[in-house]
Amino acid sequence: MILNVSKIINNPGSSMELSFDEKIDFIECGKEKIKLIEPVRFVGEISCGDGKELYLTGKLNTRIELPCSRCLQPVEVTIELSLKEYFTKKGNLKADDEEFHPIEGNEIDLGPVFIKDILLNIPMKNLCNAHCKGLCPKCGQDLNKGTCNCKEDVIDERFAVLKTLFNGSNS
Ligand SMILES: [Zn+2]
Ligand SMILES: [Zn+2]
């Protein structure tokens, strides 16, 4: 999403209202790819404070697909967040500037800004449902779909003491 800001840049006190959908298929997160099920919807405003810097505020929402933390089945997760971002001319940016995003010519690219904010707001724990039984730690069977033949009581004797400890502390 490239936004032309020529109307407001160098024009202190001016602002533009923004309302649009931006289709992003995937967000790369390390080796993982996070699938976006719905376009990113943004409603907000970009304003020019002192004539040099731009200030973006607004609300973003979308839906993404994440693996269930227990059974790894895909779960749809709603992302809703408020943005506050600053932009300045590319020449004013310091290396590794974390406070400002670049204005190149009279344009800013909102895609990387949205992606960064979505990544920062991804919930750590996602369950397909509160009672998800997860995967068997031995064979990987999805225990929501059926039981496996692993027996919990078949256990190396060296770990038997640990098991007793765990059972004691978990109950
Ligand atoms: Zn699950
Ligand atoms: Zn098993």
Alpha-carbon span 13 to 144, nearest angstrom:
57
Q: What is the pTM of this model?
A: 0.79
Give the N- to C-terminal CA distance of the chain in Å, as an integer: 52
C-alpha R_g of the chain = 24
Closest ligand (CA of 75):
1
The Å distance, Cα 166 to ligand 1 centre, comes to 23
- CB-based contact 78:152 (threshold 8 Å): no
The Å distance, Cα 133 to ligand 2 centre, comes to 12
Residues with CB under 5 A from ligand 1 (ion): 68, 70-71, 128, 132
Closest ligand (CA of 152):
2
The Å distance, Cα 99 to ligand 2 centre, comes to 49
- How many CA atoms are closer than 13 Å to the CA of 111, on its beta-carbon side? 11
Closest ligand (CA of 144):
1
- What is the per-residue pLDDT for 158? 59
Alpha-carbon span 102 to 83, nearest angstrom:
16
pLDDT per residue rounded down to tens, the chain (171 residues) = 899 999 999 899 999 999 999 999 999 988 889 999 999 999 999 999 887 899 999 999 999 999 999 999 999 999 999 999 999 988 888 877 778 999 999 999 999 999 999 999 999 899 999 999 999 999 999 999 999 999 765 555 556 666 666 665 544
The Å distance, Cα 140 to ligand 1 centre, comes to 13
Calculated CA dihedral for residues 136, 139, 142, 143, nearest 10 degrees: -40
Alpha-carbon span 42 to 19, nearest angstrom:
6
Closest ligand (CA of 150):
2
The Å distance, Cα 159 to ligand 2 centre, comes to 18
The Å distance, Cα 70 to ligand 2 centre, comes to 14
- What is the per-residue pLDDT for 171? 44
The Å distance, Cα 95 to ligand 1 centre, comes to 42
The Å distance, Cα 135 to ligand 1 centre, comes to 8
